[in-house]
Structure 1
Amino acid sequence: MPEPHEDKRPLAERIAAEFRKLIMSGDWEPGRKVPTNEELRARFATSNVTIQRALQILKDERFLEGQTGVGVFVRSDRSQTIQPAHYIAPPEPGQPYRWLSEATKRQQRGKYKMLAVRESVPPVEVARALRLAEDGTALLRSRIGFLNDQPAELVKSYYPLELASGTRLADRRLIPGGSPALLQEMGYPTRSQDDVVAARPATTEEYEALEIPRDVPVIEVFRIVYSDDEKPIEVTLLTKPSHRFKMGYHIEL
């Protein structure tokens, strides 16, 4: 029989992992005061130095906030659940992209900043999803989404050149109503969407753009959007900081 897999991480990291789970699950609610160092030393049978290291990890990751002379508290905002299905359909004519309107419903300020619009050789998995020829190129639209002025997602969307060239997709400006509205206007309505969700360490680009603290991983969503006859019209690589967001899905059976 294989030997049990032992957690050999330093105790401070294991303690931080336990508290991180309590915070992200909501068991420790925003604003809750963390037990005193004395209580934590007794609970984990360890030293004050180890407890301080564990708490500092979570402060660096912005899960905990210290108040001098008062104590340590759970951060004031909860992890936010994002439901991608809310953004599939195009908005009503004249309305903003649904990602922005959903932010408004949550009393948040949403905005996008364009980073680049150019022809690009996409990653292999994107090229396969778009059914491109070997070494084929696609149109890349890269941008950052902000919620209340905090970076919330890094988005890289790829489009077949025969579909995108000469259209507003190739324009560096933001698209009113977002790409779903424009694609529908162009005769490519969204019919379905496939998402693959993973977690991994951040790249340097993601670390800097999303202001990732310490070793917090990112949530990666690989999304394929299909139109009529299952034609792939958009492939998006989306990354979000996992200490602030969770992905939610509602499935009807």
Structure 2
Amino acid sequence: MPEPHKDERPLSDRIAADLRKAIKRGDWEPGFRVPSNADLCEQYETSNVTIQRAIKILKDERFLEGQSGVGVFVRSTPAQTINPAHYIAPAEPGQPYRWLTEATKRNQSSKYKMLKVAEEVPPLEVRRVLHLAEGETAMLRSRIGFLDERPAELVHSYYPVELARGTRLADRRLIPGGSPKLLLDMGYPTRAQEDSVDARPATTEEYLALEIPRDVPVLDIFRVVYSDDEKPIEVTLLVKPSHRFKMGYRVEMP
């Protein structure tokens, strides 16, 4: 029989995990004053030094905020739930991409910054979806999305080259109304979207671009957009900082 799995992490890390869960689940609401070190020492039967280390971890991760001479409090802004279903439909004529209009509804400022547009050989998982042979290219559009002037997502979207060449998909400028509207106008309406969500440590690119604090993981979304006849017209690798965002899905019963 294998030995039972043990949690051999430092106690400060384990305490931080407990408190982090309380914050992310909403048990400790924004602005909640964290119990005193003495109370936490008693609760976890440990030393003040260990509690201080746990609190520092959560401060570094920006879950907690210290107020000099007052105490330590849960950050004022909770993790924001992003519902991908809100962005599937093409923008209305003359309107910007739905990611931007949805931000406006939440009283947030928003913008995208283009990083790169080029024909490149995509990662293997993208090639498989687009049915590309080894060495074949796709059109890549890379960008960073900002909410309230803070980086919110790093996006790498790939399109079949035969579909993208000679269109705004191959243009470094932002697309009026976003890619769903352009693809619709090109005769490729969105019929379905499929997401696969994972959590993992950030790469250096993601750590810098998204200003990831400490060792906070990122949400890694692999998204495929299908048009008529299950044709894949867009494959997106979307990364978001998990301390600021969580994904929300609603499934209707048939």
Note the C-alpha offset of 1:6.
Answer: 1.0
User: Which residue of structure 1 lines up, in the alignment, with residue 112 of structure 2?
Assistant: 112
What whole-Å deviation, never above 9, does each CA across 1:221-252 have from its counterpart, x for those lacking one? 00111111111110000000001111010000
What corresponds to 2:224 in structure 1?
224
**Residue identity matched to 2:252:** E
Compare 154-163 and 127-136 and name the one that shifted more.
127-136
Please give the per-residue CA displacement for 1:176-226, whole angstroms capped at 9, x wherever unaligned. 110000000111110111110000110000000000001100000001111
SS in 1 for 2:125: helix
How far off its partner does 1:134 sit?
2.0
Shift of 1:4: 2.0
Q: Does 1:241 align with 2:241?
A: yes
The SS at the match of 1:41 is: helix
Counterpart amino acid of residue 113 in structure 1: K
Deviates more, 1:39-48 or 1:201-210: 39-48
Partner of 1:158: 158
Matched with 1:210 is 210
Partner of 1:71 in structure 2? 71
Q: Is the counterpart of residue 3 in structure 1 residue 3 in structure 2? A: yes
1:134 maps to 2:121: no
Q: What's the offset of the Cα at 1:79?
A: 0.6
- Aligned-pair identity in percent equals 75
Q: Deviations over 1:40-85 (max 9, x none)?
A: 1111111111111000000000000001110000000011110101
Matching residue's letter, 2:210: L
| Amino acid aligned to 1:218 | V
Three-state SS of the structure 1 residue aligned to 2:211 is coil
Q: In 2, distance between residues paired with 1:77 and 1:5?
A: 36
Aligned length: 253
The 2-side partners of 1:225 and 1:131 are apart by: 14
**CA separation in 2, counterparts of 1:178 and 1:26?**
34
CA distance in 2, matches of 1:131, 1:92: 31
Question: Could you say which residue in structure 1 is the equivalent of 2:98?
Answer: 98
Q: Unaligned 5+ residue runs, structure 2?
A: none
Q: Secondary structure at the match of 2:7?
A: coil
- SS state at 2:156 partner: strand
Q: SS of the counterpart of 1:193?
A: strand
Distance 1:2 1:182 in 2: 56
Q: TM-score under structure 1 normalisation?
A: 0.99
Between the aligned partners of 1:154 and 1:89, the Cα distance in structure 2 is: 21
- Report the 3-state secondary structure (helix = DSSP H, G, I; strand = E; otherwise coil) of the residue aligned with 1:95: coil
What is the aligned partner in structure 2 of residue 198 from structure 1?
A: 198
Cα distance in 2 between the residues matched to 1:120 and 1:62: 36
Task: Supply the RMSD in Å over aligned alpha carbons.
Answer: 0.7
Corresponding residue for 2:26? Answer: 26
Q: Confirm whether residue 85 of structure 1 aligns to residue 48 of structure 2.
A: no
